[in-house]
Structure 1
Amino acid sequence: MPDPNPIPDDVKWRLAAEFSAKLPFLYDRAFRAELGDRYDEIEQEVWMEAAASAFEIAKILSLPVGTAKDVAETMRTVMVILFGPEFKSETLEVSKDGAVIVIRRCPFLSGKIDADSTGGHAFRKCMAFTLTAVPRLNNGFSARFVRTMCTGDRQCEIKVGKSEPAATGRAAKK
């Protein structure tokens, strides 16, 4: 049996990341037909729980999370670590309390994953992960999707900004 050590780390990382990005869609194909709409509920819980990984990675690597730009940059770093080097993005700082993650290439939408498993299903996975991960990194911030490639936009845009205070009083009771 060949020793895996002579294989360059970047090749091992790329192959592992491609497999990791494909795995959710393999589960989707295997279980969606059996579970129907219930599959989306269950899977959303899995992706929300996976968002805890973002916090753990940020903590282990001492990544900054104090400002909106810090949170956005840390999310980009975490997404590359979890989803692989094929993930291409940048962060734009729009204000002291706001930043935008612009995703130009996503491994979930690459040609390496069966097209039957992408689209709206990919968005639900990403949304559950991102909307949960951002406040876990810093509970003073939240995320909102403005554009998404998996629903036909040219790129994804995720706004990271100060969380809105919870509504109180009469308006909250309606």
Structure 2
Amino acid sequence: MKIPFFQQLQSWAGQPVQQVVVATNGPARAGIERVLRHVLAELPEVLATAVVDVASGQLLASYAASREFRPGAVAGPNAEVVRQLGALLADGPPGTPPEALEEVLVTLRSQLHLLRLLPQGQQFLYVAVDCRDTNLGIAREVMRSGLERLNEAPG
């Protein structure tokens, strides 16, 4: 049962934890949710994951393992990093072909944060993991294989 007061109360508490929240509708919804569910199945210890729109910095879908990880708080700044790096690569040195950004890696003492652009470059998949639980190679492979599921037929 949906009770308006409880829905408002939940919004004050912040994003639900340990639950995939999809904030987009339309044909892309199923694919985006499928990608996040794949990440969760392959990296059950993931700290946070999200799909973010590059242009607006808005979350299209997200998951957080605990309240300390707020994908919504880092979505906008991460989108700005992607936009700035994309512009920098597009305006590369004269005489060299422009490069396309594929991935951004932020390495912290105990965490890895990866941003991997989706095929058209309009959104990116964000994954944060603890270095003690997984390594860079595993995280990259899970992201790559998850993005392959983006346009699969449901089933």
Q: Which has the higher helix share?
A: 1
TM normalised by structure 1 equals 0.27
Q: Which has the larger radius of gyration?
A: 1
Structure that is richer in strand per residue: 2
